[in-house]
Copies of this chain bind each other. A is one copy, B any other.
Amino acid sequence: MKFVDKLLKIARENDSLVCVGLDTDLDKVPKHLLREDDPIFAFNRSIIDSTSDLVCAYKPNLAFYEVFGSRGWEALKKTCEYIPRQIPIILDGKRGDIGNTARMYARAVFETLGGDAVTVNAYMGKDALLPFLEYEDKCSFVLCLTSNQGAQDFQLSKVEGQPLYEMVARKVVGWNEKGNCGLVVGATYPEQLRSIREMAASLPILIPGVGAQSGDLESTVRFGTDKNGELAIINSSRAILYASSKEDFAEAARSETAKLRDSINRCRKG
């Protein structure tokens, strides 16, 4: 099944555009979990159990696992295996390198970890993305316009008359021959999100930055979704994961996820 079909199916079933970002940080998880053999996995398992009927995707952020070395990768692998098969896993690693190296990164995320999608950085150009795009049923979300301040350093600069992020968006639309490309666009730039959606009508757009980075939700939903009000994947990490630092963290995460889902749906249907 193509990634986009898997995404649409679960998004409709759960009536949700919410992606929960699994940026699991041992300094922030409830203290009682630290007694577990694998506290990262124990935390993720509870979050997944309490939110899996409310989301359209999970997005583990690779940095938060790598920091624990092989133990972190073990927790990440178990997390990927634990996520119900019908829910897409977006591995957020922002990878990108020359062909023979990109091939290894693609194998790592799609085969070793069994992810459905990955985030990639296009600075090195098309041939750095091709090994990812060879996986027809997977999806590669290319960094386009990011939600941080530093987006201004290069992404908003004018390249041959257009901002660099637009050049990236246009090229990615051209590279989408197998229907397996997506874009990453931060919620902090609603006007730009609108123009990117116009350029990339049928691409899934992964949108971080609505929670801790406080983008405007209404314009994010309005401009980020496609003509059917779909294909936007709106990520929240910290606001959901750390809604409570106590034993009720899973219920608190569920309630935050439901709140975000419902707010998004009011914007979609309003």
Contact = CB atoms under 8 A, between A and B. Distances in A.
A69 B153 contact: no
Contacts of A121: 94, 96, 121, 123
Given A127-B150, A150-B126, A67 B104 contact: yes
A123 B143 CA distance: 9
A98 B153 contact: no
Number of chain copies forming the complex:
2
Contacts of A113: 69
Contacts of A248: none
Interface of A: 23, 25, 61, 63-64, 66-74, 77, 94-102, 104-105, 107-108, 111-113, 121-129, 143, 146-155, 157-160, 164, 167-168, 171, 213
20 contacts: A23-B100, A23-B101, A64-B104, A66-B105, A67-B108, A69-B74, A98-B146, A98-B150, A98-B213, A122-B123, A123-B154, A125-B148, A125-B150, A125-B153, A126-B153, A127-B148, A127-B149, A127-B150, A158-B159, A164-B164
